[in-house]
Amino acid sequence: MYQQLKDSLFLFVPFLASLILSLVLTYLYFKDKNKRKLVFAFGLFISAFGFYAPLIESLGRTPVFPSGEWLFIPMALAVAIAALSSLFKVNNFQIPFIVFMIGAVLSLAAFFAQFSFAPLRLGLMVFFMGTAVPIMVYIFAKSRGSADLHFLIATLCFLFEGVVIDLGTSVDIPVMLAIFGLVFIAFMFNGPQTVNPSSLPSFILLEKKLEEANKNLEEMEAKLLKAERLAAIGELAGIIGHDLRNPLQGIRSATYYLKTHNGIAKDDPVCKEMLDEIDNCIRRSDKIINDLIDYSQVITLHPSLTDPKTLTTMSLNQIAVPANIEIVNKTTDKPVLEVDVLKIEHAFVAIIKNALDAMPEGGKLTIKTRTSHNFVVFSFQDTGLGMNQETLSKLFTPMFTTKAKGMGFGLAVCKRFVEAHSGKIAVESTPNQGTKIIVAFPINYQPER
């Protein structure tokens, strides 16, 4: 009884290890779609049941299929195909995969039919493994890679495992060889970080690298198209912006004249409301034109000395703050900064207006400064609606906006102005818990004049 239990456990180890490793390789296949891993997964899965008959016999039972030697052929074929594909640097693995599947199906058919032509089986085993071994020796001698050495050792283990089983001399030796072969196959698939073109890991990683390269190329093409589109928009914005300013100024002047010289405008509240609406539309149009021009043109800085308190105070003075919103300005008058005051005020106005818009029911905006690692850091913390991750990821993208009005250039321009000063801008936000925008400028930064 003890001997039976010992033998069954001994035979169960390679059976279980082969199944586990085949499942791991199948999982890895679904991650990177590398059919080479799938070939080894199938080969290992099928070869695991080669120990079915001796395992059942060790338990004192009679197996349904007493001869399972044909089940080791797919693994030998997988090794040979892997070696040949590495030698000839096969990029498209579709044909080798089909060849393997045909070989695996034929081996399974021979197993279920209990085809007992041992010389053919032994010849195939020796041919496949005999093909793989010299190739693996050549590749290892050329690359000196550890993965090549692991695969060579695994190849030799599977070769002698199949030969010993076919000769029928022992069960213990094939079991040990199978365990060693599985260990070294696992080592081989322990993804190397670099790829030597003459090394076996290249056949493991080649498809994945090609897929990553294709994906990166598609992303670069998309970015290039977007950059070209934005460049065209910028050029068009500059032309249209300058041409539109003159008629807008004319409309503004005409509106002012009607307000101040026309008795109807003074006496008729509806007429006055309409004229005020025209003024608002002119202001919004003018802002859109300014944003387009600011985003499209090359930034030229006109630096002057200032301090954090002055910057935030001057920015707040340009904004009509709603009565239901509290502004807490905790900025300091140190350290001294050398920046383009108008551009940074423009950026801060955009940030503050966004914060106010995010608090339609009222709230609190807290503005603070601190110094950190030779940077002065401004933080704008509101108690508004907050943003989800999707909105955050697009926040500084030109023409992206969640508002009913506007073109979505405000924060994009803000980011350009901050980065023109070698500064950094970041956003932290949680839906329904407010947003915090952090802007940092180097204290000793000296803009080019």
Secondary structure (H, E, C), 265-297: HHHCHHHHHHHHHHHHHHHHHHHHHHHHHHHHC
Whether residue 115 is found in the same domain as residue 151: yes
- The answer to whether residue 204 is domain-embedded is no
pLDDT at 139 exceeding the cut of 60: yes
**Higher-confidence position of 361 and 129:** 361
Say how many residues make up the chain: 449
pLDDT category at 202 given cuts 50, 70, 90 is very low
| Residue 359 belongs to domain spanning | 304-442
Cβ density class 284-318: b for 16+ within 10 Å, e for less:
ebbebbebbbbbbeeeebebeebbbbebbebbbee
Whether residue 139 is found in the same domain as residue 178: yes
Whether residue 366 is found in the same domain as residue 331: yes
Reported as a single tens digit per residue, the pLDDT across 40-54 is: 788 878 877 877 777
Widest pairwise Cα distance in the chain: 117
Whether residue 332 is found in the same domain as residue 366: yes
For residue 225, what is the enclosing H or E element? helix 201-261
Reported as a single tens digit per residue, the pLDDT across 321-371 is: 888 989 999 998 888 888 888 889 988 988 998 889 888 888 899 999 998
**Higher-confidence position of 94 and 188:** 94
Reported as a single tens digit per residue, the pLDDT across 379-388 is: 999 988 888 8
Is the peptide bond between 66 and the residue preceding it cis, with omega within 30 degrees of 0? no
| Residue where a domain terminates, one of 296, 325, 360 | 296
How many distinct structural domains can be found in the chain? 3
Spatial separation of the C-alpha atoms in residues 287 and 352, rounded to whole Å: 16
pLDDT at 61 exceeding the cut of 50: yes
pLDDT at 207 exceeding the cut of 60: no
Residue 189: closest CA among 72, 29, 48:
29
3-state secondary structure of 341: helix
| Residue where a domain terminates, one of 254, 275, 296 | 296
Q: Do residues 182 and 21 make contact, with C-beta atoms less than 8 angstroms apart? A: yes
Which residue type sits at 98? Answer: I
- pTM, two decimals, is 0.44
- The answer to whether residue 211 is domain-embedded is no
Mean pLDDT of all residues in the chain? 76
Residue 435 CB contacts under 8 Å (≥ 6 apart), including other chains: 355, 358, 381, 382, 384, 386, 387, 427, 428, 429
Residue 405: the pLDDT is: 56
Positive or negative: CA dihedral 441, 445, 447, 448: negative
Whether residue 191 is found in the same domain as residue 339: no
Residue 102: the pLDDT is: 93
Whether residue 255 is found in the same domain as residue 115: no
Specify the CATH number for the domain of residue 238. 1.10.287
Whether residue 384 is found in the same domain as residue 242: no
Specify the CATH number for the domain of residue 357. 3.30.565.10
DSSP single-letter state for residue 326 = E
Whether residue 326 is found in the same domain as residue 261: no
Q: Do residues 345 and 314 make contact, with C-beta atoms less than 8 angstroms apart? A: yes
Whether residue 48 is found in the same domain as residue 149: yes
Reported as a single tens digit per residue, the pLDDT across 361-397 is: 888 999 999 988 888 999 999 988 888 888 787 777 6
Reported as a single tens digit per residue, the pLDDT across 241-262 is: 667 777 777 787 777 777 776 6
* Residues paired with 327 in a beta bridge: 365
pLDDT at 216 exceeding the cut of 90: no
- The answer to whether residue 341 is domain-embedded is yes
